[in-house]
Amino acid sequence: MTSPGGDDPGGARKSAKSAGAGLYGPGGWSGSRRLLRMLRDIMKGSGDQQHRLDQVVHLIAQDMVAEVCSIYVVTPNSRLLLFASQGLRPEAVRNTSFKFGEGLVGVIADSGRPLAFSEAQKHPSFAYRPETGEEIYQSLMGVPILRSGRVMGVVVIQNKTRRHYQEEEIEALETVAMVLAELLTVGESGTVEEMLGWQKDVLPSRLSGLMLTDGLAVGTVALHNRGIVIKQVVAEDPEAEKARLNQALEEMRDAIDVMLARKDMAAVGEHREVLETYRMFSEDHGWLSRIREAVLGGLTAEAAVQKVQYDNRARMEQVSDPYIRERLADLEDLGNRLLTHLIKPDMLDQRVLPDDMVLVARDLGPAELLDYDLKHLRAVVLEEGSPSSHVAIMARALGVPMIGRCAGIVKQAQEGDPVIVDGDNEQVILRPSREIRENYTLAMAIKAQRQAELAETKDLPAVTHDGVDIGLSVNAGLLIDLPHLHESGADGIGLYRTEIPFMIRNSMPDVAAQEDLYARVLDHAKEKHVVFRTLDVGGDKTLPYWRGDREENPALGWRSIRIGLDRPGLLRLQLRALLRAGAGRRLDIMFPMISQVSEFRAARALLEREQARAAALGQVLPRDVQVGAMLEVPALVWQLTALFRDCDFVSVGSNDLFQFTFAADRGNPRLARRYDVLSPAFLAMLHGIAIHARAAGRRVTLCGEMAGDPLEAMAVLGCGYDHLSMAPPSVAAVKSMLRSLDLGHLRHFLQGQLTAPHSSLRPALTEYAARYGVAI
């Protein structure tokens, strides 16, 4: 394990004998079990928490051959207080403290992972506290004390000599930290907080994040811990624990198989792929061997599973590969499911979840979200998460507000805290005042009333006040999205993201599987049109079974149609499945991220080869095939005349087109408000595209976040568009807007604004809507 700025304590695992005396000295794992038994005896003994911790630090220092062992505990104001020490000056205990991120102790707590240094005082994060007398100690190793994913404290050992701590020693101290978490939480004398009279922080706190799903919610914090409380860490009989583990594994696999065999699984096909992935992970040799090794070391089966989860989390945090990091949430879910089979029903957390639950977690797997009662789930807040993650996709489909990348939420939120989740403004308010809570509750009531009024527009035609027909479609990518097509009153699916089913499978779907999926989409749509976008992977959309090379700038790298043209077999198989699914029906196919006309022609040539092949085999062909291009790359704007000669339609992907035009990563919070899609420059570009399309007699649609925002959609219509595709929940609001809009008057007004020297036309368009009664 290599620590940033620290040492490499061995890399490859070394034999237990090489680690010296103590926990991994003579006797190896038997030494580990001996220490754990001694710790268990201390926990069962008499005395208060302080006395027990004093005994613990003495025992650890002795067993790990260290001059110093110290335990720091997190206080309610998020400081790390020195609570017990063997080796440091006694006057430092309960006086020395660090902030998270301050000093090496603070860095360990802030990162949530172990660190080891042979020359600690030379590290730039080292913070000297003269009252401790630690200037004589050279080396330091520390691990976080974790419980349910929360940092409760840090345990540290120090030596006077330059000691290179081995990986086995780090893992041993992590095991000890698990026992310490139990000691800090449970005891006849109460928790450390209760003993010192600490009060839980009740001050309001506002945290920023990234909107993954829009919406507003007022509710009560429920910390995601899967209802699992491990009450026994140290095992009495390792062989019995190994048998319990094997039995739980079989029960978990059988339970997954039962779920896969359910008749209704066919109706939620993407969920089936998720479960199949879990089933595959449950056989992973490396994962299982690490759990069994921890059991042999003296842990109970459930504590061993949790320890491996902590180890994986720490290692994965050092990995930048987006696929590995995203799959970590799925692997966490598997470990949690195994724990539910290990823990007896009377040992499970019996908490009653609130009716207005706001789920707070470090991260979630998609199936974990479905484990909660959606009738009572108001919102989700994640410390990690990304717009393309499985759980975010699921939340959007279910209409659950979700904020991700909310730094510090797991540390600051407490079970039962009142909380406000404002997805629209990308903020979370913990412990709001009564006045703020009442204001948000009123805002939600007004919004609900507004949504009820908008729902009445479902069956009304999408026609502007001056009689212009507008096409409104929805975006989709999962089978569970399909009911929204008819519920929203949309005209069709303007963008079906075919890559999503690829992303959540553990292997490449063959032609038959793809054909079945696309046919079900068309069947559900009935007479309404569906535009299938071919595989758009690469960048932040990775496939679990196909790993490309690491790229410096993946958004501009080998992705999308570039992969399809370089691997034509992959694209041809997908086109073959689409043609079979569309037999006898209209079929709309769109190629993504076209940068030059030659790419579109090459992709269309592959489609024509597949059409010729199907005809030669006597297969029934679609009655009409429309072929379009996704316009996301600014270079294509200067090739529209040639493009419109070859394609049947164009769909403008406003999200990527905007970020590529302004060279601004839309996922970067520092740039989120710097540029505006309603800038004259960007609207002028959209206007020019619409003019070329009209001159060529081709259909042009805009899909992206702009299409679903009433004010921004109004601007798009003003630029000459009459087809929009958006998320299903946005259809009603956009329809209400356009029905109150005099489109001819708006287009005349906007024409004079496109050359204005302003950074944004948002204020002018907002004023226009207010003046002329446009419902935005």
CA distance 64 to 277: 41
Q: What is the DSSP letter of 764?
A: H
What one-character DSSP code corresponds to residue 141? E
Size (the chain), residues: 776
Tokens of residue 698, six digits? 């081709």
Active centre residues (catalytic): 390, 703
Residue 367 in contact with residue 388, Cβ under 8 Å? no
Q: Could you identify the residue written with the tokens 């009560």?
A: 220
**Under 8 Å between Cβ of 353 and 371:** no
Task: Return the amino acid letter for 736.
Answer: S
In one-letter notation, the amino acid at residue 502 is: F
The phi and psi torsions of 31 (rounded to 5 degrees) equal -65, -40
Q: How far apart are the first and last CA of the chain?
A: 55
- Cα angle 356-359-365, degrees, rounded to a multiple of 5: 140
- Sign, CA torsion 161/165/169/175: positive
Nearest-angstrom CA–CA distance, 237 and 675 = 63
Radius of gyration, alpha carbons of the chain? 30
CA angle 625, 630, 633 (to 5 degrees): 155
Say how far apart CA 486 and CA 498 lie, in whole Å.
Answer: 20
Nearest by Cα to 531 from 645, 692, 649, 640: 649
Could you give the angle at which helices 762-772 and 743-751 cross, rounded to 10 degrees?
Answer: 150
Q: In which element (H, E) is residue 31 found?
A: helix 29-44
CA proximity to 653, closest of 425, 478, 501, 475: 475
Residue 671, both tokens: 């740039």
User: What six digits make up the tokens of 526?
Assistant: 């009935």
**Residue 479: DSSP 8-state:** G
Q: What is the DSSP letter of 14?
A: P
Contact 383, 361 (CB under 8 A): yes
Within 8 A by CB and 6+ apart from 280, the residues are 506
Cα torsion 123, 129, 135, 141: sign: negative
Chain Cα centroid distance, residue 753: 40
Separation CA 154–CA 71 (nearest Å): 6
Residue 657 CA: distances (Å) to CA of 24, 634, 750, 757: 58, 6, 21, 21
| 3-class secondary-structure state, position 606 | helix
* 3-state SS, one letter per residue, for 621-656: CCCEEEEEEEECCHHHHHHHHHHHHHCCEEEEEHHH
Beta bridge partners of 376: none
Of 324, 334, 325, 226, the C-alpha closest to 279 is 334
Side chain identity at residue 378, one-letter code:
R
Angle between helices 710-718 and 743-751 in degrees, nearest 10: 80
- Going by C-alpha positions, the residue among 587, 580, 589 that lies closest to residue 620 is 580
